[in-house]
Structure 1
């Protein structure tokens, strides 16, 4: 219905234009005709009309129709039409560019962003104090000394004229407004974090913890609700155009063109990073070889025919081409077979030299192998920060004892554990299988082995085990305690 109405209005416009130019042109002042030509459709119709008139005269008089010399003839008005269309083309081009810059991405730019183009040079240092700190609440629990220490480190870095830290987040916060009757969602709450060059920082957390929201702010897809972050000294709120020049991204979902090959993808992104000639070709070949996409004609195969694992490897190669100083990898090894995953880990391990990498993953093995430091992210907040050994020592200073017996002997197992470690905590219980955490300072491994041998002589023991705390145990413990806290509050 709407298209029919638009078509009817357009037909009326054409009739009006025809009557104006043919029948009543003598009754309409030339100034009004020029005014109407400011509408692009009328100017186009006027030009086509004059071409048609000269063509008809040419057929009847044996001439060639309109020539360049006739363009200046005041009777046809073609000079006015051409000038108006040229000026309109330039004006509409500028307006289209401006609108595209504001509405093209998810967050867009500030409508006043053109005023920022008059900066004389690229900024190279922090802006202190952080505007995000003024008037905003700092969301930090006082019982998290490692998180408080990280915040204090950020505050100290912001006071220094130069720094070796590639990424500095200062009280970064993101709130999604409520819609359709739903309350607003606090995705990232007051995150302060400093990552130096040469470090791979791992972000662990359950689904919906806010990891992807954090990365979306860092790469410019969304704007922070308050606070800010600096990438190589550049503010992500006002200097994102400069940040892009030193940034690489491997998104959670592959953003590839199905009709382009892996080599063509890397050539395209390499040119965006200002690589040319032999340097570009060498960078593309090295990238393809590093992720095992060079041999067997795979490099020239369309990306639409790649498997899921091959697409992930190509996305990692894209994020690293052009020697970016900061790289964000959102679950890069998802869908990879064990051999490809191991090869990818080696690539990331080599790539972190002289650059900062933020990596999110659900694989504790991957986090422990690749990351120099880890941060566990729950309900939008950073719960703890440290290297894997520190976290296991801080949150896992206990042995994990597991024993499987018949249901009737469960009580005797628990009594045995209490004798070994009075402060032992039962963490799992199902169908005769029980798991306990025993503080290391209360028990020795020799006593545990001796107690198990005695237990075997008194009742059947189907299976048992004693292990040190793993990173997975730490993650589950921190995540559960944080989720319980936020549920209660």
Structure 2
């Protein structure tokens, strides 16, 4: 292929450069896919902005604008849909109310709730059930004294024109929902009456009240409701009653059977200390509940007044006239869907890169391309560095396009939040995402499985973030520490960061303020700082773990679990690790059972290892491989103490039936599996400790073609040539020579993508790859499989030329190929060599007979048989048809000269049309040796 040189192994930078060029070329061929990946989030942003535009156009209609009459706009001319758009410099004042259950849902005694003090449930049918309040406290007499004053009205005026005074001093309540009605107390715009809560009511105690508020005339029905206070011994009993009351209430309306409950705790004449249970469940499910109008203030006020009456007398009270909202400017209702949907939506978009990275990494494992690169000298450092740089560049470009495009089209999620914070957040997360993908790839061997699991992770983490994590984040009672624990899951940490961005952007857009700024990271309610710290530390931790798992359990060339300790050990000469002699009894017994030529090869190995330096290309020293038995089966002995010395310039052929152990031997030599015992030396380097150095001078042609479908033959050779430290003109010349030698140069074949090659063309390219860069040792596994006769002969010529200055170990099932290419052969059966020698030696040693053929007329057949019997009494006829006969002649009974002499005599007596004498073929030797070895193993 090329001339031998003393070229040094490729440096880290050279290997990184080779891999980067290959990756860029590979991705250039997948340009459409990459454009689709980057364009997908842009497409989704366009969809969002279109939906947002449609919704905002709808919100821009008059029915959502502040109401106007005669050119004057304001709250008094607006419907509930329009109020939110109006400026309200002076919000209306509303009396503070109790939340009262509807008559049909008020507390009563039932079989499920047999509480003392409550009326029979028949009162629900007549709607005459009282409104009950629960009491407890440490000082019962004091608490009950205050409880008697809770529901006592302080108003005796009948002047309804002073409605605020009347309504503020009366214990008023409502059963209207307490939802968001835009600065209006819902009780005064509903069709429900107001309730005056009194200790006693007349049977038909109902009246009408009419007043103005914000220039609106309000007319309400006023009903008297009997108030009832019930004592409970402790707060646990109150909790139980309230829980049962909620379950007994109308679940659709989410009410409760009780007005409220008071626990006066340790209150006494000198101090008021209490807890209040109030009904926050009775709302309209919009999610926007005004706290001031939730009927809490009046609940507190009555307890304060009860205490003042106890201390100062019935004429003393704390006046609580009204509640009101704070003033507001006029607004235009617009929704920012990017912020409203941001956390879930953008979690999915950003995590879509995870399956892309995962499947690409698993693809190289599944196709064994990473192993192929390792075996041609690519070390793990350049591989992982370039892989990280490539995926980081792809992720960064993806996110930059996403943010820029989202900002251009006006998504508030991007425009309102500080770009610096966004840059840091996305930078940290894409590093974490790459680390997770590298880590997860070690556990997958199939791309389809990795793809499915990857997308399940993407959509699963997004949905769990939206419907689980968000619930805990917004629950102020949930411990913050547990949220941080949940955020240790990368998908949750991404969701939390995007949730913070969306909340700040949504609030900023609604309130007309900015989004998240750096100073906001100090806010205790802002979880962004915790998320950044978690993701940064996780990425620092997961990268080394991913590298370790790739070395130990990944689909590539596995290393010992404590391989990293080798970096801390002083390297010693590989020769110091050899065994100078065989001391074990088992080895001596095994040697005694070996054939003479195999035993002689073992002695050669022992003598070579005693020398101060190793001149041979490869030396296998008692190499053994045992596979542990599984499911109760015994251990499998695949290679039985194999010893072999192979000098430079020799092609050694391994012949053997399937399952003999040839592949296990080759896999140990190329580092795919570790020996159970023994070792081997390649160019003087130990395969147990120096495989990284061995790979720089090794070439491999695997049994199955390991190629990138989208790369051309020339690009394959350029990549592997760079890994072998070929540069500049030398690299170009080596590639040209390689393509010519395997007939891939002419007609532009070398510049076609490998996926378009036929099986034979791929095979020739694999052979060319194994020989480029002048490797000193080459392993070829059935190199001519699938080739036509012309291509096979041409390939044999390539191998013949290549073996002049390198050692080649070749496995084949073609006896013709073995005879043409191999200087020596070894027949491998049941884990060990049965014989070693050149083809002629083996045929001479194991070929036991000649094949004699003679064709005559039919009437001379008997004379031919007599001739053969005189040559060899033990001859055996193996073929007979129309005057043509074939005989096996044992070699020990005949000489070739005697056969020639006998034929000449026969020609003088009768006509001989044709004759021939053939030696035993290599195929005959192989079958004989293999059957003999297998029979011996069965008997033993």
Confirm or deny that 1:438 pairs with 2:909. Answer: no
Alpha carbons of structure 1 residues 372 and 451: separation in structure 2 relative to 1, 3 Å:
closer
Alpha carbons of structure 1 residues 172 and 425: separation in structure 2 relative to 1, 3 Å:
farther
Alpha-carbon distance in structure 1 between the residues aligned to 2:568 and 2:585: 29
Alpha-carbon distance in structure 2 between the residues aligned to 1:472 and 1:11: 65
Q: Structure 1 residues 396-405 or 80-89, which shifts more?
A: 396-405
Alpha-carbon distance in structure 1 between the residues aligned to 2:822 and 2:676: 29
Deviations 1:40-67 (A, max 9, x none): 3332222122111211232134334123
Shift of 1:381: 1.8
Alignment correspondent of 2:677? 226
Confirm or deny that 1:205 pairs with 2:656. Answer: yes
Alpha-carbon distance in structure 1 between the residues aligned to 2:796 and 2:696: 25
Task: Report the secondary structure of 1:248's partner residue.
Answer: strand
Alpha carbons of structure 1 residues 289 and 6: separation in structure 2 relative to 1, 3 Å:
closer
Deviations 1:177-199 (A, max 9, x none): 45567665433222110101221
Task: Report the secondary structure of 1:288's partner residue.
Answer: helix
Alignment correspondent of 2:696? 245
Alpha carbons of structure 1 residues 126 and 46: separation in structure 2 relative to 1, 3 Å:
same
Shift of 1:328: 0.3
CA contact (8 A) 1:170 1:192 kept: yes
Confirm or deny that 1:93 pairs with 2:582. Answer: no
Task: Report the secondary structure of 1:299's partner residue.
Answer: helix
CA contact (8 A) 2:462 2:491 kept: no
CA contact (8 A) 1:132 1:172 kept: no
CA contact (8 A) 2:827 2:835 kept: yes
Counterpart of 1:127 (choices 556, 562, 577) is: 577
Alignment correspondent of 1:367? 818
Aligned length in residues:
484
Shift of 1:320: 0.9
Alpha-carbon distance in structure 2 between the residues aligned to 1:179 and 1:256: 34
Counterpart of 1:321 (choices 761, 772, 776) is: 772
List aligned pairs for 1:56-455, cutoff 5 A.
56-105=506-555, 108-121=558-571, 123-125=573-575, 127-129=577-579, 137=587, 139-140=590-591, 142=593, 144-178=595-629, 184-396=635-847, 399-403=850-854, 416-422=867-873, 424=874, 426=876, 428=878, 433-439=885-891, 442-450=894-902, 454=906
Alpha carbons of structure 1 residues 310 and 15: separation in structure 2 relative to 1, 3 Å:
closer
Alignment correspondent of 1:488? 939
Confirm or deny that 1:54 pairs with 2:504. Answer: yes
Alpha-carbon distance in structure 2 between the residues aligned to 1:418 and 1:178: 55
Alignment correspondent of 1:20? 472
Alpha carbons of structure 1 residues 222 and 295: separation in structure 2 relative to 1, 3 Å:
same
Q: Structure 1 residues 108-117 or 139-148, which shifts more?
A: 139-148
TM-score, normalised to structure 1, is 0.86
TM-score, normalised to structure 2, is 0.47
CA contact (8 A) 2:552 2:559 kept: yes
CA contact (8 A) 1:170 1:191 kept: yes
Deviations 1:257-281 (A, max 9, x none): 2222111211222233333443332
Alpha-carbon distance in structure 2 between the residues aligned to 1:222 and 1:456: 66
CA contact (8 A) 1:283 1:321 kept: yes
Runs of at least 5 residues in structure 2 that lack an aligned partner in the other structure: 1-452
Alpha-carbon distance in structure 1 between the residues aligned to 2:579 and 2:921: 40
Q: Structure 1 residues 11-20 or 368-377, which shifts more?
A: 11-20
CA contact (8 A) 2:656 2:829 kept: yes
Alpha carbons of structure 1 residues 79 and 450: separation in structure 2 relative to 1, 3 Å:
same
Task: Report the secondary structure of 1:165's partner residue.
Answer: coil
Alpha-carbon distance in structure 2 between the residues aligned to 1:307 and 1:38: 50
Higher alpha-carbon Rg? 2
Q: Structure 1 residues 298-307 or 39-48, which shifts more?
A: 39-48
CA contact (8 A) 1:169 1:193 kept: yes
Alpha-carbon distance in structure 2 between the residues aligned to 1:120 and 1:427: 69
Alpha carbons of structure 1 residues 240 and 427: separation in structure 2 relative to 1, 3 Å:
farther
Alpha-carbon distance in structure 2 between the residues aligned to 1:382 and 1:175: 16
CA contact (8 A) 1:102 1:111 kept: yes
Alpha-carbon distance in structure 2 between the residues aligned to 1:310 and 1:400: 39
Shift of 1:369: 2.6
Alignment correspondent of 2:290? none
Alpha-carbon distance in structure 2 between the residues aligned to 1:308 and 1:427: 43
Shift of 1:408: 11
Shift of 1:137: 4.7
Alpha carbons of structure 1 residues 257 and 81: separation in structure 2 relative to 1, 3 Å:
same
Shift of 1:428: 4.1
Alpha carbons of structure 1 residues 140 and 17: separation in structure 2 relative to 1, 3 Å:
same
Alpha-carbon distance in structure 2 between the residues aligned to 1:178 and 1:410: 59
Task: Report the secondary structure of 1:109's partner residue.
Answer: coil
Alpha carbons of structure 1 residues 8 and 338: separation in structure 2 relative to 1, 3 Å:
closer
Shift of 1:415: 5.5
Alpha-carbon distance in structure 2 between the residues aligned to 1:262 and 1:131: 47
Alpha-carbon distance in structure 2 between the residues aligned to 1:165 and 1:486: 32
Alpha-carbon distance in structure 2 between the residues aligned to 1:483 and 1:405: 41
Q: Structure 1 residues 320-329 or 240-249, which shifts more?
A: 240-249
Task: Report the secondary structure of 2:626's partner residue.
Answer: strand
Counterpart of 1:467 (choices 918, 926, 929) is: 918
Alignment correspondent of 2:118? none
CA contact (8 A) 2:871 2:898 kept: no
Alpha carbons of structure 1 residues 10 and 140: separation in structure 2 relative to 1, 3 Å:
farther
Alpha carbons of structure 1 residues 135 and 243: separation in structure 2 relative to 1, 3 Å:
farther
CA contact (8 A) 2:739 2:750 kept: yes
Shift of 1:315: 0.5
Alpha-carbon distance in structure 2 between the residues aligned to 1:406 and 1:484: 42
Shift of 1:368: 2.5
Q: Structure 1 residues 219-228 or 178-187, which shifts more?
A: 178-187
> How big is the alpha-carbon RMSD for the aligned residues of Structure 1 and Structure 2?
3.6
